[in-house]
Amino acid sequence: MNLLERLQQSQVPALARHFARFCRECDPDAHEHALLGAALLAARNLEGDTCIELDALAEQALFPDRDGQPLLHAPALEPWLDALHGARFVGTAEQTRPLILEGRRLYLHRHWQEEAHIARALLARNAPVPVEPEHLRKRLDALFEPKDPTHAEGARGQKLAAAMALTRRLAIITGGPGTGKTTTVARILALLLEANPELRILLAAPTGKAAARLTESIGEQCETLHGQVADDILERMRQLQASTLHRLLGWQREGFEYHADNPLPCDCLLIDETSMVDQGLMASTLRALPAHARLILLGDRHQLSSVEAGSMLGELTGRDDTLALTPARAEELEQLTGELPSRPLRNDAPPLHGCIVELAYSYRFASGGGIGRLAEAIKRGDLPAIEALLDSYDEELDWIDSPPDQPAAEIVRLAIGHYRPVLEAPDAETALARFNETRVLTAHADGPWGESTLRERLEDGLRRR
């Protein structure tokens, strides 16, 4: 039985099987090892990967059959590389072929082009921007002075993020919920407008909901800056309206309206929820962004990645990698913030690390509390710690056992208790404020624990009361 016949009997997606057949038509003499690489790449692409690392997959079991038993095994690394180098549908960076082999990574040609363009565009923006150190230090001290001394740690991280963003044309600010990302970026925008009141700023996010929330959050932050920032600057910030990236770029059937030959009319682009931006959309955005424009990326590198291929924020920040700084960059930031950043110093620190900052201090819940410890355990994938937390008493957590086929009545009762005051509100403003005090989160769209089922049960319970 040849490879294509074995793929037919496996659980490999149909698209991957068809792609392997296409590659066989491109080169009837190609070794089956090369065809296997093509099928595996197509399958992983459907799962969100833009490439496969051959050394990590070599000699591993692949593609189980319909009974769950391994049907295929990857070859050893060297024969696999030799087969790919010899296939006419595989090329190098200088060639136009369906697949690109770069070192031990195999890409679809389009994804390799996108990744290479993103790398060039971001590195080009990671260049110093002239600032007046003394003036900037005073403004940073004024805008990031903690109102509560217990939040000094959070303010230090936010000040560092602002210093990084204002001294480079690229800033990547990551952090979990409640770490002050929007608070930080609102002050960055204020400082940019103070330096250039005519600065053209665009706000964007991958979804309409995220865009609306960004607009709302910037507006809310303006109210906290009265007396610290001039009224005309705050009015400019209030007028900023975020849009989806597709709308910003002018999506049309033929492609985007804005591109390299028709760039966006902006001097600064802020993108929120960057973890949801796929590689193709990021590449299109960077092509449309003028060379002189600043780019500020916000998001949580530990959040779920985009639906389409390419986990941009996770790849750019290295997910769990420790961020380092060169001694020169650390000294520059110390002059602006008054403190040496608490990060490893390395002469060979990756270039982008000098424009990436992770906000770790949570204003929403204490790191030592139940929610904070549970969040950290989930990020680490520490199942024993998760189970121990849920089994122990904690005033922030309440674990309710429930059968898998339906939510416990207790869960519905608790939710109804939180939402009933919304219906009893004297006016719309109060109702919205009460509504925003509670969130019901579920990991499923359908089924007994799905969003639609829970919504129906809550609505039914509220009507009865």
CATH of residue 69's domain is 1.10.10.1020
Strands (E), 76-232: 90-91, 99-102, 105-108, 170-175, 201-205
Residue 393 lies inside a defined structural domain of this protein: no
Question: In terms of domains, do 55 and 137 share one?
Answer: no
Q: Is residue 113 part of a domain?
A: no
Cross-strand partners of 174: 299, 358
Contact 277, 205 (CB under 8 A): no
Domain co-membership, 84 together with 214 = no
Q: Are residues 79 and 163 in the same domain?
A: no
Residue 255, sorted as left (phi over 0), alpha (psi -120 to 50) or beta, turns out to be: left
Residue 437: inside a domain: yes
Neighbours of 172 (CB within 10 A): 28
Task: List C-alpha distances in Å: 375 to 35, 76, 379.
Answer: 42, 39, 6
CA distance 59 to 447: 38
In whole angstroms, what is the distance from residue 164 CA to residue 136 CA?
12
Burial 61-89 (b: 16+ CB within 10 A, else e): ebbeeeeeeebbebbeeeebbebbeebeb
Domain co-membership, 133 together with 102: no
Do 289 and 337 fall within a single domain? yes
417 is a domain residue:
yes
What is the per-residue pLDDT for 151?
79
Which pLDDT score, from 0 to 100, does residue 222 have? 93
Tens place of pLDDT per residue across the chain (465 aa): 688 877 777 778 889 989 999 999 999 999 999 999 999 999 998 888 889 999 999 988 887 766 777 778 889 999 999 999 999 999 988 888 999 999 999 999 999 999 999 999 999 999 899 999 999 999 999 999 888 777 788 889 999 999 999 999 999 999 888 888 999 999 999 999 999 999 999 999 999 999 999 999 999 999 999 989 999 999 999 999 999 999 999 998 888 999 999 999 999 999 999 988 988 999 999 999 999 999 999 988 777 666 566 677 777 777 667 889 999 999 999 999 988 888 999 999 988 999 999 998 777 776 667 777 887 788 778 888 888 888 887 777 878 777 776 766 777 788 888 888 888 888 998 988 888 888 888 877 788 778 888 888 888 877 776
pLDDT at res. 433: 86
Q: Are residues 429 and 283 in the same domain?
A: no
Together in a domain, 254 and 320: yes
| 424 and 337 in a common domain | no
Residues 59, 191, single domain; the answer is no
Query: Is 376 contained in some domain?
Result: no
- Per the structure, the count of domains in the chain is 3
- Claim to verify: residue 210 and residue 290 sit in the same structural domain: yes
Q: How far is CA 108 from CA 19, 103, 129, 318, 334, in A?
A: 11, 14, 36, 22, 43
Beta bridge mates, 394? 397
What is the residue range of 418's domain?
A: 400-463
Pair 285, 228 in one domain: yes
